[in-house]
Chain A
Amino acid sequence: MTGQTLIHLQDVSKRFVKGRDTITIFDHLGLTIPAGDFVAVMGPSGSGKTTLLNLLGGIDQPTGGSITFDGGRVDTLTEGQLARWRAHNVGFIFQFYNLMPTLTAARNVELPLLLTSFGRAERKRRVEAALSLVGLAERANHYPREMSGGQQQRVAIARALISDPKLLLCDEPTGDLDRTTADEILSMLRLLNQEMGKTIVMVTHDPEAAKYARRTLHLDKGRFTERELVA
């Protein structure tokens, strides 16, 4: 299922200045992710997993090196260009779902479509389809507080999928869920990868979750230490 290179990190460095100290997270990091891949990123706290996800998603910029997405440079885009790039190419799934508590499930899922030129009817149709895909069509008018954690995460997946992005970035997507619900969510992600060809990068601490990925990258002190092909 994997194909051409979707993401390529070359000599990526990331440093933070904290008081008088400069903290280096990555120093000349390289990574290639083909389209259709499903990568789990594991590693101890502070190893740079979330920073890597932020760089891949264009919500943080590298201090050095280059990041290429689908053949185009991402690290040189302005903030406004990055916002538009994210809207078209990346879906985010967070540990704590990050749904808007004052909006219904349908309105939450609709959010990315408000950045497109689709009319109201087309948006409604797509929202219904996305909610059906995650098995929550009947909960469209429910607020997040009226749903379980697993249901909220499914709404978040529907929101991430609605604008049909090539890349899904998942930050501990099952970290707040029990085992059964976590397996449901992970099965759904695998389905999205296998059936819809979505490229997925998932940060996780859970080895069971990592088993759903095609391969696992271990990150330690800013370097990949092991690459393991799972499927």
Chain B
Amino acid sequence: MRVFNEIAVVTTICIKSIPQRFWASLSTVVAVGLVVTVLLAFLAMAAGFQQTLRGTGTKDMAILMRAGSQAELNSGVTRDQARLIEEAPGVMKDADGKPLVSPELYVIVDGVKKTAVPADGNLKKAPRSNLTLRGLGPVGIAVRPGLKIVEGRAFNPGTNELMVGRALQKDFAGLNVGDTVKLGNSDWLVVGAFELGGSVFESELWADTPEVQDLFHRQNVFQSIRARLTGPDALKALSDYATNDPQLKLDVTTEAEYYAQQASRTSDLIQKLGWPLAIAMAFGALAGALNTMYSSVAARAQEIATLRCIGFSGTSSFIGTLLESLVLALVGGIVGTLITWVAVDGLTGSTLAGSTFSQVVFTFHLTPAVALQGIIMALIVGLVGGVFPAWRAARVPIAEAYGSP
């Protein structure tokens, strides 16, 4: 009990004396806040990106690609292979007995981010970003039950008509319903906008398969096959079928698994950029925290010496000083988290998704887990910045603190 009393008193004295060193304390809070803001901005970006991609796939949808291909872009599947999959076990059929199998094209086109549009509005002069154009037929829409056309209508088969994902439409210029877009040598008319549960598909342009095949000279070739599964065991049956048939040689996985892998690659990259930057900045904040805490200990040298004179232990001086540093860092951490929450959370961004080489639009997401990482980072700065001054507070001889020889 006595030791808690001691620590409580020393901590109260330390924390109550913070206003006496207002500017130094404020600089520490700001430095820690900046570190946390930068770190959380990166982590919120990674979390938002991951959420978008992970939210894309479902477990009852199989995706089949050429064996060894890491992503749809490097895959190639023939029309004959697609026909064989229609007869495969584990594939769900619709009410008319037609297999829910969607061979799909995946090609890269370009577009202009709204933020990159020049002042004169001339899109031809603007820097271009890669976008995904997906060629699919009526079954492709049928196998995605969450699809909602929020504006206009679906494209008509056999026409140069496009449907645009809602996220893409918000982030890129010239994709409103009624706009004409030049893809390759052809003009395409945007006829509708769709939402699909905030998934990565909302970052895509969709058009009729034969038209895309014509435009990009890819007759009889697709990039992937989507197949709706009949149940949890169906993947194994389909996988065995695709592996054993020498004509197929396809990798089979669920869409959920596929997008989880895609997500982790890019979000790992974002985190690998964010953490070193935050750690480098943390060293700067650490210097600030050390400076503040050493000056705090120096300013309170007589107070600490008096307490120890009275009989307070060095341990209570150590813990009290350390807690002061942790409080400053925690305030910095909370400020940084609040700044990130206000300025970044919910913000829409787009980035090149690793192996797809195309833009994925996502929303920065400051999850509780991400915020916790920021607070932990702040506390580490506070701990390291406080431990040496606290040690000094506890160990400096009392007589020395009073200026004796």
- Mark A residues whose CB is within 8 Å of B: 16, 18, 23, 25, 50-51, 54, 57, 59-60, 79-80, 83-84, 86-88, 92, 94, 98, 100-103, 111-112, 114-117, 159
Contacts and interface: CB of A to CB of B under 8 A. Distances in A.
Contact of B311 (A54, A60, A84, A102): A84
Given A60-B404, A117-B2, A100 B309 contact: no
A59 B311 CA distance: 10
A51 B405 CA distance: 8
Contacts of A83: 308, 311-314
A16 B13 contact: no
B398 interface: yes
Given A51-B405, A60-B404, A92 B310 contact: yes
Interface in B108-128: none
B303 interface: yes
Return the 3 tightest CB-CB contacts between A and B, nearest first. A87-B311, A102-B16, A114-B5
A84 B309 CA distance: 10
A185 B193 CA distance: 88
A117 to B, nearest CB: 7
Interface string B388-405: 000000000111001011
A111 B314 contact: no
Interface in B309-350: 309-314
A75 B397 CA distance: 15
Nearest to B302: A98
Contacts of A25: 405
A23 B302 CA distance: 25
Contact of A92 (B13, B302, B309, B313): B309
B17 A115 contact: no
Nearest to A111: B310
A115 B13 contact: no
A111 B309 CA distance: 11
A116 B2 contact: yes
Contacts of A98: 302-303, 306
Contacts of A112: 310-311
A26 to B, nearest CB: 12
A98 B306 CA distance: 7
B9 interface: yes
A25 B399 CA distance: 14
Interface residues of B, number: 27
A227 to B, nearest CB: 25
B344 to A, nearest CB: 38
Given A103-B13, A116-B2, A51 B404 contact: yes
A80 B9 CA distance: 18
B181 interface: no
B1 interface: yes
Interface of B: 1-2, 5-6, 9, 12-13, 16-17, 20, 302-303, 306-314, 397-399, 402, 404-405
B399 A59 contact: yes
Contacts of B311: 83-84, 86-88, 112, 115
Contacts of A102: 12-13, 16-17
Contact of B5 (A16, A84, A92, A115): A115
B405 A18 contact: yes
A182 to B, nearest CB: 21
A92 B307 CA distance: 11
Nearest to B307: A111
A25 B314 CA distance: 27
7 contacts: A25-B405, A80-B313, A84-B311, A100-B13, A100-B306, A102-B12, A112-B311
A86 B399 CA distance: 14
A95 to B, nearest CB: 10
Contact of A117 (B1, B309, B310, B313): B1
A71 B307 CA distance: 26
Nearest to B4: A114
A202 B375 CA distance: 51
B399 A100 contact: no
A114 B313 CA distance: 12
Contact of A87 (B16, B310, B405): B310
B358 to A, nearest CB: 60
Contacts of A92: 306, 309-310
A48 B79 CA distance: 102
B363 to A, nearest CB: 46
Contacts of A51: 399, 404-405
B303 A23 contact: no
Contact of A59 (B20, B313, B398): B398
